[in-house]
Structure 1
Amino acid sequence: MSNIFCFGYGQVAQGFVNNLSKKNIKFNLSYTSRSIENKNNINSQKIFKLNENSYDSEIIQEIHNSDFILISIPPINGNDIVIKHFSEVFKKVKAKCIIYLSATSVYGNHKGKWVTEKSSTEPTSENGINRLEAEKKWIFISEKLSLPIQIFRLSGIYSNTNNILKRLEAGTARIINKDNHFFSRIHVDDIANILTKSMTHFQSGEIFNISDDRPASTEEVTEYAAGLINAKIPKKIDLEDLENGMLKNFYKDSKKVNNEKMKKFFNYNLKFPSYIEGLKHIRDNSF
C-alpha cells in the first residue's frame, strides 16, 4: 500500500485521489490545507496546516514516510512555499516519485506557434515568471539531492465543475476580440489518469506538457459550447477593455501546446482528445 502526500488538495489532487479509488488502488492519503478548523483525521485521511508563514511540524515526518508526493501549490507572492519550508527535509525521503505541477504559462508568447518541452521559456506574466523560477529550483534540488522529480506543465484545466458551459449559464463567459489567439486545455480526468500512470511510469528530471490534442481560440470553444446548451453567444470585447488584469495577461500569450512526449512516454490515449468530447461529456453527465 502506497503512502501518498499531497501539497495542496485542489481539483487536480482530488481528481487524482478519486481516480485511484475508482481503480481500486490501495493507498494512505495525507495532504495539506491552508487552514484547518478541526485537525482530526477524516475518513483515515490526515490533514495538515500549511500556509506562507507557518506549517504543521508533523508534515516533516509525512514527507519522510511518503512513497508518492504531489506538489500542486502554485507560487505565493513569488515564492514556492514547499521549497521555502521543506527544502532541507527533502534530503531524507524514500519517495519513488515526486511530481511538481507547473503550467504552460512558462513558455510565454509564441505567436500561435507550436511549443514542445524543448521550446524557449520566456514567460510574460507574473504567474509564468514565478512558475518558471519554481521549476528551476525543483530541478536544482532534484540534481543536488538525486531526487526522483518530474515536472508537469499543465495547460488550461477544465472539469465537470469548472468549464465554459457553467460560465455561459452564469452569464460570465467572455469572447475577446483578438486574432490568431490559441490556447490549449486539458480535462482534469486526463490529468488524474496521467498522474496515476506516473506511479509506475517514471523518469527523474523529465518535463512533460500535459495537454489535449486540439488547441483552439476562446471564440471557437465558446461558440461550440453555446451551441451545446442553446445559450446566447457573448459579444466580443476588446482586450483593452478587460478590467481583470490576470485575464488580460492571459490573452497576451498565444501558443499551441504539443503533447506527443506525454502520450508516448505514458502510452496514454486521452479520455477527452479535445474540448468537443470533453464538453459533450460534461453536458450529458454533469450539467
Structure 2
Amino acid sequence: MNATRILRRPRVLIVGCGDVGLRCARRLLARSPHVRVIALTSRPERAAVLRAAGVMPIVGDLDVPHSLRLLAGIAPTVLHLAPPPASGEDDPRTRALIAALTAPRRMRAAHAVRATTGRLRTRSHGQFKPAAGTRETRIVTDAFAPARVPRLPVRLVYASTTGVYGDCGGALIDETQPVRPVNARAKRRVAAERRLRAATARGALTAHIVRIPGIYAEDRLPLARIERGMPALIDAHDVYTNHIHADDLAAIMLRAATHGRPARVVHASDDTVMKMGAYFDRVADAFGLARVPRITLEAAEQQLEPVTLSFMRESRRLANTRLKRELRVALRYPDVDDFLRTVGVEDVNSVKSAPATPRAAKSTAGRRSARR
C-alpha cells in the first residue's frame, strides 16, 4: 500500500539541480509536501546533498545517453536547468534528454517474477514453469516480451539565456526579437531551443522556454570582482544589463511548468533598467566597498579577458510583459535595489565566510552575467 501511494505521488524531475534547482525543489516541497522531487546528477557524491534537501537523486550523465534509461516516464514535469557542453555550436545533451524522456517505457514481466520468487521461471514447450524450489506465480505478460507502459505527457521547462539575442544596441526588446547569437555559448542555447520546439511540434513533449539574464542572490554577487578593482566601462561605452533574483527565477520556472504556453518564450527578467557599471556601484555601496574604476572600451580590450569582454559588447533591455500577463508572476524583488536594501555592510563578512557553491566559487561579473 505504501509503495502504491509513493508511485501515485506527483513527480517533478530536475535536470541540473544546482543552486537554482535546489531553490525550485525547496519551493515545491514547501508548497506541496506530497510532491516527489527527483534530480538527475552526474556526480554520485552529490546524492547526499540532494537527499538532505528532500530530493531523490538519480545518477545519470547527459553526455552518456545509455545512462538516462530510467528517465522514460519517470515524471510528467521536467525542469531542464543543465547547461550545454563547453564547446561546439550544438547541444547534444538536450538531444539525449529528449530521447530519454520520450522513449517508450518498457518493463519485463520477468523482473516482477524475480522479485516475487527470487528465481526466474524457465520456458518449456511454449509454457512458463516455475524454477525448481519456487512457488507458482501468475504473470500476465510474456516474461521475455517487453510490455509497453503508457507514458505520461511531459511538460518541460528549459532554462535558456537572453544571450541568444546578441547585441541589440541597448534597445528594449520582447520575446519576438529574432535571435542573433554571436558566440558559440549562445549558439548552443539556440540549438537546444530549436530541438525542444521541434519535439513540441511533433507532439513528443510540451516545452516552455524561459530566457534568463544575470542571476543574483546574496551569495551570487560580484563582490570578488569589486574587491579586486576589476574595471567597468565608462557610461558612454557601458551596456545595459538585465537581472533576476535566484528565488524569483525558481518561482518563474515552476510557474512556467503549470501556466506556460507550448513552445512559448518568456523573459525571466525583473524591472531593473541599469547599466553594468551602475550595477557594480550599487553592490559596492550596499556592502561598503570602493567603487570599481571606469575605463573606455578600447582600454578594456587591452586589460580584460575575452570572456568578460564579450559581455561588455552586448547591450539590451528586456521587456517582461509576458512574465506578468501570461504567467502572472509577482516578483519578490522587482528591482535590484529592492534586494540591496535588505543587505548592508554588516552582511559582507557573512557572505565572504559562507561556503561557496560550485557556481558561486566561479564568481566574476562576467560569469554572473553569463545568462544575460
Q: Secondary structure of 2:29's partner? A: helix
Secondary structure of 1:150's counterpart equals strand
Q: What is the TM-score normalised by the length of structure 2?
A: 0.70
- Unpaired segments ≥5 residues, structure 1: none
In structure 1, the partner of 2:74 is 65
Cα distance in 2 for residues equivalent to 1:113 and 1:246: 23
More relative contact order, 1 or 2 (CA 8 Å, 6+ apart): 1
CA distance in 2, matches of 1:196, 1:29: 12
Q: Distance in 2 between matches of 1:121 and 1:208?
A: 14
Partner of 1:191: 249
User: Partner of 2:58 in structure 1?
Assistant: 48
Q: State the Cα distance separating 1:146 from its structure 2 match.
A: 4.3
User: Which runs of no fewer than 5 residues in structure 2 stay unpaired?
Assistant: 1-8, 105-150, 352-372
Q: CA 1:54–1:114 in 2, change beyond 3 Å: closer, same or farther?
A: same
How far is 1:138 from its partner?
Answer: 1.1
- Pick the aligned partner of 1:220 from 265, 272, 278: 278
Task: Give the drift of 1:160.
Answer: 1.9
The one of 253, 259, 263 equivalent to 2:320 is: 259
* Alpha-carbon offset, residue 166 of structure 1: 5.5
Cα displacement (A) at 1:103: 0.3
> For residues 63 and 232 of structure 2, what CA distance do their matches in structure 1 show?
39
Contact 1:49 1:55 in 2 (8 A): no
- The percentage of counterpart residues that share the same residue type is 19
Aligned to 1:82: 93
1:234 is aligned, of 277, 287, 292, to: 292
Query: Cα distance, 1:113 vs. partner?
Result: 0.2
1:155 Cα offset (Å) = 0.8
Matched, 1:32 2:33: no
Structure 1 position 149, deviation (Å): 0.8
Q: 1:172 to 1:196 in 2, by over 3 A?
A: farther
Amino acid at match of 1:74: P
Q: How many residues align?
A: 285
Residue aligning to 2:163? 105
Deviation at 1:69, TM superposition (A): 0.3
SS in 2 for 1:47: strand
Does residue 18 of structure 1 match 2:79? no
C-alpha RMSD of matched pairs (Å): 2.5
Contact persistence 1:242–1:248 (CA under 8 A): no
1:171 corresponds in structure 2 to 228
